[in-house]
Chain A
Amino acid sequence: MKVTIRNPVRREIALDGSLKVHQLLAHLNLNPESHIVIRDEELLTSQDIIGNDDAVQIVSAISGG
C-alpha cells in the first residue's frame, strides 16, 4: 500500500500487504487519537482494512503552540 503522511512534514511510505487502520497507525507509531486516515476522500475507522493496492493519506490533527 502507498501511505502519504500529509503533515506536519509530508512524506510517502510504501508497505507490503494489507492492514487494519489501527495496525497501520501502530506500525507507524502514530497515535490514533490525533491522526485521521483517508482513502479516496473517505475517512476510515480503526477496524477498516487497507488493501495492498490501496493508497491512503494520514492527517495529523494536532495544532497549536
Chain B
Amino acid sequence: MRCKKCHKKASVELRRHNTSFCPIHYIEFVSNQVSRNIKKHNMFTSANRVLLAVSGGKDSLALWDILTKQGYNVTGLHLKLGIGNYSLKAAEKTRAFAETHELQLIEYDLESEMGLGVSRLSKSIKRAPCSGCGLNKRYFFNKLALQFQFDVLITGHNLDDEAATLFGNVLHWQEQALSRQSPILESTHPNLVKKCKPLYTLTEREIASYCLLLKIAYQEEECPNAAGAHSLLYKDLLNRLEVQSPGSKQQFLQGFLSKIRPSFRSQETVTLNECDSCGMPTTGQVCSFCRMWERARKLTDPKLVNGTSNL
C-alpha cells in the first residue's frame, strides 16, 4: 500500500476516504482536518485564549500537539478525578507532555477541593461513576474557563465519541441532548463559556495513529469505571458497521449535523436561570452539580466531605 501523495510505503490506511498515507503526509492530513474544522465553524483564532481539557489520553494530547504547532495560544486544564492509580497515571502523562513542550497547565484536584473524588462520590450517592464524573467535568471545565478568563473551552471529543453519543441519543430519543450535540456550542449565558470539539471528524484509530507516529506518550490504560459503559457498546457496534461499510460513522454524524440538527435548533426555547446555590447557569432553580454534591453531603460522613471549595 502506497502513500497517496508521495507513493512511499503507507503507514496509515483510511478506508473511509479510500486512501492511505506515509507518516509525513498522514501527520499533515490530521493537522489539515483540525485546521479545516476550526475555520469551518469559526471555533477560535490565534488571538483567542484557548483552554483545552487534557485527560492525558490520546485525544487531548494529540490536539494540544496539533494546535501548538499551528501557533494557537492553548493552556491545558487537567482535572484530577480521584480514580485511584488511573488518575495518578493520567496526571503524570499530562504533566510530562506539558513539561516537555513547555506548555502552560492548570491542575485542579477534585478530591482536595470537594472532599471526594469520583470513585468515592459515586459510591456515596449510589450513582454510576461515569454520570457523576461527566457532570463534574462539565461543571469545572466551564467554571475554571470563566475564572481564568479564557475565550473558549475545547475538548478532544473525536468522531467515535460523537457518533456513539448520537447513537445513544437517537436510541433513547433524547431530544434535549440531540439539540445540544454539535462540534461548537456558543455561549448563551454570561456564565457559560463557548465550547468546541476540533477533532470531531477524526476517528479514535486515526488519532491514536497520530500519537504513535509522533511518539506522544499518552495513557493507553482504560478508565476502570468504563467497563460496561453504554458508550463503549455503541462504539463497538458502530465499528462493526464501519468495517462492512466504510464511512458509516462519518455519514451518520455529518448527516445529523447538516440535515437534522437545524430543525432541533429552530425549536430551542431553553431559558437559563442562575443556580440559587452557585450562580452557574441552569434550567431549574438549583443546578444538577449542586444537587449532586448536596446529596453527597447528606449521605456521607461530613468529616469525609471536607474539601477546600466553598461551593
A3 contacts chain B at the CB level, 8 A cutoff:
no
Chain B nearest CB, measured from A27 CB (Å): 15
Of A7, A35, A48, A63, most buried by chain B (CB within 10 Å of CB) is A63
B31 contacts chain A at the CB level, 8 A cutoff:
no
A17 contacts chain B at the CB level, 8 A cutoff:
no
| Chain A interface residue count, Cβ-Cβ cutoff 8 angstroms | 24
Given A43-B213, A45-B11, residue A61 in contact with residue B221 (CB < 8 A):
no
User: B20 near A45 (CB under 8 angstroms)?
Assistant: yes
Question: What are the 4 tightest A-B residue pairs by CB atom distance, in nearest-first order?
Answer: A65-B226, A61-B208, A65-B229, A33-B239
User: A62 near B1 (CB under 8 angstroms)?
Assistant: no
Please, which residues of chain B bring their CB within 8 A of the CB of A6? 220
Q: List 20 A-B contacts (CB under 8 A).
A: A7-B222, A31-B243, A32-B243, A34-B235, A36-B209, A38-B212, A43-B209, A45-B11, A45-B13, A46-B13, A47-B1, A61-B205, A61-B208, A62-B160, A62-B222, A63-B58, A64-B161, A64-B235, A65-B223, A65-B232
Encode contact with B along A36-63: 1 for CB under 8 Å, 0 otherwise: 1010001111111000000000011111
B276 contacts chain A at the CB level, 8 A cutoff:
no
User: A33 near B242 (CB under 8 angstroms)?
Assistant: yes
Chain A nearest CB, measured from B51 CB (Å): 20
Query: At the interface, is chain A mostly helix, strand, loop or mixed?
Result: loop
Residues of B that sit less than 8 Å from A by CB: 1, 10-13, 20, 23, 57-59, 129-130, 133, 160-161, 164, 203-205, 207-209, 212-213, 220-223, 225-226, 229, 231-232, 235-236, 239-240, 242-243
Residues of A that sit less than 8 Å from B by CB: 6-8, 31-36, 38, 42-48, 59-65
Please, which residues of chain B bring their CB within 8 A of the CB of A38? 212
Query: At the interface, is chain B mostly helix, strand, loop or mixed?
Result: helix
Please, which residues of chain B bring their CB within 8 A of the CB of A34? 204-205, 235-236, 239
Of A34, A47, A60, most buried by chain B (CB within 10 Å of CB) is A34
Given A36-B205, A38-B212, A60-B220, 12 extra CB contacts under 8 A? A33-B239, A36-B208, A43-B212, A45-B10, A45-B11, A61-B58, A61-B205, A61-B208, A62-B232, A62-B236, A63-B226, A64-B229
Chain A nearest CB, measured from B231 CB (Å): 6
> Which of B12, B220, B231 is within 8 Å of A65, CB to CB?
B231
Please, which residues of chain A bring their CB within 8 A of the CB of B203? 33, 61
Please, which residues of chain A bring their CB within 8 A of the CB of B225? 65
Which of chain A's residues has its CB closest to B224's CB? A65
Which of chain B's residues has its CB closest to A63's CB? B57
User: A65 near B221 (CB under 8 angstroms)?
Assistant: no
> Which of A45, A62, A63, A64 is within 8 Å of B12, CB to CB?
A45
